[in-house]
Chains A and B, each alone.
Chain A
Amino acid sequence: MSGTPGTTDGAGPEAAAGAGPAPAAKPAAGLLGRRSPEDRRRARRRAALRKYGAVLLLLSPWIIGFVVFTLTPMLISLYWSFTHYDMASTPRWVGLDNYRFMFGIGKIHGIKAADPYFWTAVKNTLWIIVFGVPLRVLFAMGTAMLLTRPKRGTNAYRTLFFMPSMAPKVAAALVFVYLLNPTTGPVNQLLNMIPGIHAPLWFYDPATSKPALLVLGLWGVGDAIVIYLAGLLSVPRELYEAIAIEGANTWQRFRNVTLPLITPVIFFTIVMGVIDGFQYFDQAYVAGNAVSGGQTSVLGSPQNSLLFYGLYLYEWAFRNFAMGYASAMAWVLFGATMTATAVLLLTSRRWVHYGGGT
């Protein structure tokens, strides 16, 4: 995440550094003529310092930003994760207590203690990843494939499908809470016209609240559609022509040409989807808030079915003032996200093809 600015900035300083120290070093050697190994080493060190000094100087805007706004807060939160800290008094060192409480292997004042809803939050988060990510991939890929078909008005269709993903998440969630209201929402009013159908309670029922969020997620899948569209359109025509000559049917065309060539796109959307899933927050916050009466709301309502990891972390940090425990939760989340991403990266070698020809 923070690697990109560093590498882009890095291109500049190197070019500048190459030009910088060279003229300064040469006349020095000429004047002295004879130099001891110690002198030479010192000169080399000075040259290196000058070279890297320039690099560092030019990198400094990013370095300062990174150190101040990313690295330091991260290290402070790592420290806090081993403390009890209520944001007003001084943090108190408690060792691994926060982590023990989280995983339910801890004791507080000698009594076995476990976070009552930690695993609920973990399960909800995994649920939204396990169902949300594949659905998103399939839906975006399917829609993108359909969008490559029309001969006319393609731009209009693409705009239409992309537009929902431009809506702010909070606004979109509020609209869906309204649309899916069990009594006053238009969706259920339509469903109720069909005899024999028991319209679901959507966000008000723990059994349907997460699926309702999936519906909301699929509505806003336009950003992924655009990426798939780009991927599909970059598949070389001649490959399709070649396989057509071989007499392949539609499925074979998809299976042997399209699919392998868009695996990088699939991989990208999966990784991003998993990372987003770990941090799922806004939509669940809005929906849970709306169905639990607003003011004195219970986050993750109904019945903790929308209590996702990020939401629960927020509750500990900003409602319970357990900043130490919330920091510990943040580090566990960081570890889980890194692990999941690493696993995906490792397995990707087996199935992601980066078009060898180009």
Chain B
Amino acid sequence: MRRTTVRSALLIIAVVAALAAVALAAGCGSSSSASSSPAPAASGTDKTPVTLTVWHPWTNPEKKVFETAIEGFTKKYPWIKLNVVGFPDSSTFDQQLIKAINAGNGPDVAISFAPDYVGQYAADGLLVDLKPYLAQDNIPADEFAAAARTYTSFKGKQVVLPVLADSYGLYYNKDLMAKAGITAPPKTMSELMADAKKLTVRNPDGSIKIAGFVPLEAWEELDPTDLARAWDGQYFDAQGQPQLSRDPAWADALTWQKQLVDWYGYDNILKFFSTYTASEFDANNAFQNGKVAMVFDGEWRTAFVKRYTPKLNYGTAPFPAADTMPQVYGVGRVSGTVAGIPRTAPHPDDSWLLVKYMATDTDFLVNLANGLGNVPTTAAAATSPDLTIMSPQFKTFIDVWNNPQSSYSPPLTSSGAGYATLLLQFDDKWVAGKVPDLHLGLQQVDQQISNQLNLVAP
């Protein structure tokens, strides 16, 4: 009899445990509703010792640079200890962060590389709106370049602040330019096309030995959006509907792209691309080695050149603008690292001190920028005499960052940036000559984008 009791007791425990586990698993799926954010207390008044957990996706050697730079914070705020947690894979970082916040065990401060998620963080209330904190500490709106707003705020909510940025422009090889008789970098898209042709050197069999400019979207950092920006192309209209078929900039940009691809010959440019596909971030990079004369790239390339081919004679300039739109010259794509406070953070006022420090402290930003080679995000840091990475080539990217028209692309949505793939898929077919009607094709892409955004819309 006793044996039976024990047995059934065990059975009941097992069943209860299983049910509990099921309930737990199911609970993880649904999310709690957004909590109201409390009004911030005046920062720095409460000095109760506290430990803040910071999640970041830097890996070595950059991880070390960050860890060293952030030591300044604990000197300034001795009652706050930091528990700095590096994540090994930046591509899954944000998904893990979202899961953790929904499960109630997110960090006190999160640093992310992917502005793509900022729309979601804001729309779903995963990160705290920082506007009250900014107002309380009298941080002016122009503390950060206007371009920062395109990827740190969404629908009126400022859920993150920028911590160093990337900006993009045109790199050109001065020696190859001189050899081709070109004296200044191209400023218009016609000049870019003409220079690209002049700079191209072919092998006897017609294949490409040195390419002037590779206009494929898969080539390193180039994106159709960057080409369309030259015509001031906008992804969405004022109502938030995709307008690739209605804004003529897109057809102009894609036509320009196809003309240059056809001039090379699709197979030729594809073969050239295949030679350097895997070399964007290593010693064999085509631009560093003089195999491509002009390239659309980010500010970090200056650091790569310094490391791998310090003797390369090169210059940088904003990406060219359409012939009819000289006012666009100087505008470029920006992106960057961002920091925010999860809504589950138990000490948001202390978290704010850290976010504010990382976003505004000049010494911190300069140290980090010197170590990582990225664009400093405040005017004070960008003009600091301690900024050792400053050079004429690097200056271009600070200017692009400070251009009020520069913007993050693809634009933020509450459902990420997955929609941008639809244009890339279309562009791959377009340059391969498999799209008979460009306008009709772009109409379809518009429809696909709008369907996809609706499908994910919460």
Interface string of B411-452 (1 = CB under 8 A from A): 000111011011011001100101000000000100110011
Interface string of B2-45 (1 = CB under 8 A from A): 01100110110010011001100110011101000000000000
In the complex, A280 has a CB within 8 A of chain B: no
Nearest-Cβ distance from residue A107 to partner chain B, whole angstroms: 10
Task: Enumerate chain B residues within 8 angstroms of A114, measured Cβ to Cβ.
Answer: 451
In the complex, which of the residues B3, B17, B218 has the most CB atoms of chain A within 10 Å of its own CB atom?
B218
Interface segment out of the listed B59-67, B183-191, B246-254, B274-282: B274-282
A87 to B124, CA, bound (A): 10
Task: Enumerate chain B residues within 8 angstroms of A90, measured Cβ to Cβ.
Answer: 30-31, 33, 458
In the complex, B256 has a CB within 8 A of chain A: no
In the complex, B129 has a CB within 8 A of chain A: no
A residues touching B (Cβ–Cβ < 8 Å)? Answer: 24, 49-50, 53-54, 56-57, 60, 63-64, 67-68, 72-73, 76, 80, 84, 86-92, 98, 101, 108-109, 111, 113-114, 116-117, 181-184, 201, 204-205, 290-299, 301-304, 315, 318-322, 325
A293 to B267, CA, bound (A): 17
Closest B residue by C-beta to A115: B451
Task: Enumerate chain A residues within 8 angstroms of B434, measured Cβ to Cβ.
Answer: 303
With A116-B448, A301-B218 as given contacts, are A291 and B102 in contact (CB-CB < 8 Å)?
Answer: no
**Option from B8, B22, B218, B456 in Cβ contact (under 8 Å) with A321:** B456
| Structural contact, B31 and A291, CB atoms closer than 8 A | no
| Structural contact, A109 and B454, CB atoms closer than 8 A | yes
| Structural contact, B8 and A60, CB atoms closer than 8 A | no
| Structural contact, A201 and B451, CB atoms closer than 8 A | no
| Structural contact, A183 and B18, CB atoms closer than 8 A | no
**Option from A49, A64, A73, A321 in Cβ contact (under 8 Å) with B17:** A64
A291 to B275, CA, bound (A): 10
In the complex, B353 has a CB within 8 A of chain A: no
A-B contact list, 13 entries, CB within 8 Å? A56-B11, A57-B7, A63-B14, A68-B25, A72-B26, A90-B33, A181-B274, A183-B272, A291-B218, A302-B428, A303-B429, A318-B95, A319-B421
**How many residues of B sit at the interface, in one of the four size bands?**
35 or more
Give me 19 other A-B pairs in contact (C-beta within 8 A), A49-B8, A295-B280 excluded: A24-B4, A53-B8, A56-B14, A60-B14, A63-B18, A68-B18, A68-B25, A76-B25, A114-B451, A117-B425, A182-B270, A204-B273, A290-B278, A293-B277, A301-B428, A303-B425, A319-B416, A321-B456, A325-B455
A57 to B223, CA, bound (A): 59
**Option from B17, B271, B421 in Cβ contact (under 8 Å) with A201:** B271
A101 to B451, CA, bound (A): 9
Closest B residue by C-beta to A57: B11
Task: Enumerate chain B residues within 8 angstroms of A322, measured Cβ to Cβ.
Answer: 415, 418, 452, 455-456
Nearest-Cβ distance from residue A61 to partner chain B, whole angstroms: 9
Task: Enumerate chain B residues within 8 angstroms of A298, measured Cβ to Cβ.
Answer: 218, 421, 424-425, 428
B residues touching A (Cβ–Cβ < 8 Å)? Answer: 1, 3-4, 7-8, 10-11, 14, 17-18, 21-22, 25-26, 29-31, 33, 95, 98-99, 102, 120, 123-124, 126, 218-221, 223, 267, 270-275, 277-278, 280, 414-416, 418-419, 421-422, 424-425, 428-429, 432, 434, 444, 447-448, 451-452, 454-458
A112 to B31, CA, bound (A): 31
A204 to B278, CA, bound (A): 13
Nearest-Cβ distance from residue B356 to partner chain A, whole angstroms: 26
Nearest-Cβ distance from residue B177 to partner chain A, whole angstroms: 25
| Structural contact, A101 and B270, CB atoms closer than 8 A | no
| Structural contact, B14 and A64, CB atoms closer than 8 A | yes
Task: Enumerate chain A residues within 8 angstroms of B425, measured Cβ to Cβ.
Answer: 117, 298, 303-304
| Structural contact, B22 and A88, CB atoms closer than 8 A | no
With A183-B271, A321-B418 as given contacts, are A64 and B21 in contact (CB-CB < 8 Å)?
Answer: yes
Task: Enumerate chain B residues within 8 angstroms of A319, measured Cβ to Cβ.
Answer: 416, 418, 421
Task: Enumerate chain B residues within 8 angstroms of A303, measured Cβ to Cβ.
Answer: 425, 428-429, 432, 434
With A101-B451, A321-B120 as given contacts, are A86 and B422 in contact (CB-CB < 8 Å)?
Answer: no
Task: Enumerate chain A residues within 8 angstroms of B278, measured Cβ to Cβ.
Answer: 290, 294
Closest B residue by C-beta to A183: B275
A330 to B134, CA, bound (A): 45
| Structural contact, B274 and A294, CB atoms closer than 8 A | no
Task: Enumerate chain B residues within 8 angstroms of A321, measured Cβ to Cβ.
Answer: 120, 415-416, 418, 456
Closest A residue by C-beta to B34: A89
Task: Enumerate chain A residues within 8 angstroms of B415, measured Cβ to Cβ.
Answer: 86, 320-322
In the complex, which of the residues A50, A60, A63, A301 has the most CB atoms of chain B within 10 Å of its own CB atom?
A60
Task: Enumerate chain A residues within 8 angstroms of B11, measured Cβ to Cβ.
Answer: 53, 56-57, 60
Task: Enumerate chain A residues within 8 angstroms of B422, measured Cβ to Cβ.
Answer: 116
Task: Enumerate chain B residues within 8 angstroms of A57, measured Cβ to Cβ.
Answer: 7, 10-11, 14
| Structural contact, A76 and B26, CB atoms closer than 8 A | yes
Task: Enumerate chain B residues within 8 angstroms of A292, measured Cβ to Cβ.
Answer: 218, 428
A268 to B4, CA, bound (A): 45
| Structural contact, A320 and B271, CB atoms closer than 8 A | no
